[in-house]
Amino acid sequence: MKITDIQVQVFTYKSKQVNDSEGHSHPGPEHDAQQALLTVTADDGSAGYCFGSPSSLRQPVIDQFVRPELVGRDPHDRELIWQGLYKRQRGSGELLSDRVLAPVEMALWDLAGRKLGLPVWKLLGGYRDRVPAYGSTMCGDEMAGGLATPEDYGRFAEWLVNRGYQAIKLHTWMPPVSWAPDPKMDVKACAAVREAVGPDLPLMLDANHWYSREDAWYIGRELEELDYYWYEEPMDEHSTSSYVWLANQLKMPVLGPEMAQGKFRTRAEWIVRGASDITRTGVMDVGGIGPSMKVAHLAESHGLACEIHGGGSGNLNVLGAMYNGRWYERGLLHPFIDYDETPGYLNSIIDPMDSQGYIPMPTRPGLGEDINFDYIEEHTVEAA
């Protein structure tokens, strides 16, 4: 069995989310947004699919780096293909990013699952058939009734608990919010949420990522008083020493790294140096499902939890096949956004949540996406 082709279709869909100048998403007016569908096909007619960003999955990148590595190979040889793509990254001038590696690798998993009639988490070796979700808020904003004040966060937290969420993570205010960042305001928002949900609900903070050691330490000590469960990325993650320092100062768990480059190798360095108490991976951060499983097993071998960054089909399948991660990150959530609304290019969302706050593992073969191929065909703006 051999791969014969790899294609990217860019299509439009209706979105009510906009990005600010630093890339944080917020509610906005309905508009046409773009999404890309990557398709890998083999000579027996089987195919695998994965969604990705049109800005990463550009045709010249596919043609120059991905196609030569894939075409002619057995699509089941995921590790061989991944290692080949990884070697090509160095000379690609950053064009072949982890955000290209990840959807390519996930499309290969999807192909295998569809062909064998099994969801990917079962192919990996199933561990659980459902996972609790934490509600992950959007970053703070300056919209009346949105996430503009600590009271707004408190009110929204009550709504999230009523919806069934078993834990909540705040993203607080970051630039370009006019007065942000502000450590005291972050603490006020965290206190308002603790006050709103009571003493028992696990709460987490994902703070502004460029605080100084002093500011990060101040917030951490306050979070300990509020009995927060983890503290995420308050400083630039490329300074491992800063995280070693912070983890030593605080009693509460520090989580990371999330955005630092270097895939599982960076996670290994953080674990050895004691830079965090809970490890982090996500399919888009380390180049796919296979490397995420490497991180999970690395952490497990050291007796550490590994929490998964972000939602979506790839991360959900990883959680279905690992022992040492507790939560699915569901979001990003905002009072003005209906997260449960199905976008046009899908027939149903991958992560429906029940009233107890659980997400069932997908039962469809492959990654489990319920793709509306007719919609994508009708809305394609660019296809190779």
Only one of the segments 4-12, 94-102, 106-114, 206-214 lies at the binding site for Mg ion (rule: CB under 5 A); that segment is: 206-214
Q: Please, what is the minimum distance in Å from the beta carbon of residue 309 to Mg ion? A: 6
Min separation Cβ 294 and Mg ion, Å: 20
C-alpha 312/C-alpha 349 separation (Å) is: 9
Give the C-alpha separation, 85 to 62, whole Å: 11
3-state secondary structure 34-83: EEEEEEEEECCCCEEEEEECCCCCCHHHHHHHHHHHHCCCCCCCHHHHHH
The backbone torsions φ and ψ at residue 360, rounded to the nearest 5 degrees and listed phi first, read -75, 145
Per DSSP bridges, beta strands 130-137 and 167-171 are parallel
Minimum CB separation from Mg ion for residue 209, in Å?
8
Q: Which is nearer to Mg ion, 222 or 258 (CB)?
A: 258
- Cβ 179 to Mg ion shortest distance, Å: 22
Q: What span, in angstroms and rounded, lies between the C-alpha atoms of 243 and 224?
A: 17
Are 353 and 330 a contacting pair, CB within 8 Å? yes
**Which 3 state secondary structure label does DSSP give 329?**
strand
Using the Cα atoms of residue 309, residue 315, residue 318 and residue 320 in order, give the sign of their dihedral: positive
CB of 223 to Mg ion, least distance (A): 15
**Whose Cβ is closer to Mg ion: residue 152's or residue 307's?**
307
Encoded tokens for 283: 């399919």
Beta pairing class for 25-42 and 47-52: antiparallel
Q: Which is nearer to Mg ion, 39 or 136 (by Cβ)?
A: 136
Stretch that binds Mg ion, among 65-73, 81-89, 158-166, 201-209 (CB under 5 A): 201-209
From the list 16-24, 88-96, 256-264, 336-344, the region that binds Mg ion by CB under 5 A is 256-264
Q: Is 110 a residue that touches Mg ion (CB under 5 A)? A: no
CB of 310 to Mg ion, least distance (A): 8
Smallest distance from Mg ion to CB 232, Å:
5
Contact 293, 124 (CB under 8 A): yes
Residues in the interface with Mg ion (CB under 5 A) total: 2
- Subset of residues 23 to 42 that bind Mg ion, contact rule: CB under 5 A: none
Question: Residue 365, preceding bond cis, omega within 30 degrees?
Answer: no
CA gap 368, 383 in Å, rounded:
24
One of 69, 110, 141, 206 touching Mg ion (CB under 5 A):
206
Window of 41-49, 123-131, 204-212, 282-290 that interacts with Mg ion by CB under 5 A: 204-212
Q: Strands, DSSP E only, in the chain?
A: 3-19, 25-42, 47-52, 130-137, 167-171, 203-206, 230-232, 254-255, 279-281, 306-308, 328-333, 346-348, 358-360, 370-371, 380-383
Span of 124-132, 252-260, 261-269, 288-296 interacting with Mg ion by CB under 5 A = 252-260
Minimum distance from residue 233 beta carbon to Mg ion (Å): 5
> Quick one: 37 or 204, whose CB is closer to Mg ion?
204
Identity of the residue, 237 or 258, whose beta carbon is nearer to Mg ion in the bound complex: 258
The residue among 186 and 206 lying less far from Mg ion, judged by its C-beta, is 206
Nearer to Mg ion, 215 or 258 (CB): 258
Stretch that binds Mg ion, among 149-157, 185-193, 236-244, 250-258 (CB under 5 A): 250-258
Residue written as token pair 């190979």: 73
CB of 384 to Mg ion, least distance (A): 33
Report the alpha-carbon angle 368-99-329, nearest 5. Answer: 55
Sole window of 98-106, 146-154, 156-164, 199-207 interacting with Mg ion (rule: CB under 5 A): 199-207
For the bound state, the minimum distance from the C-beta of residue 108 to Mg ion, rounded and expressed in Å, comes to: 27
One-letter identity of residue 73: R
Given the rule CB under 5 A, which residues bind Mg ion?
206, 258
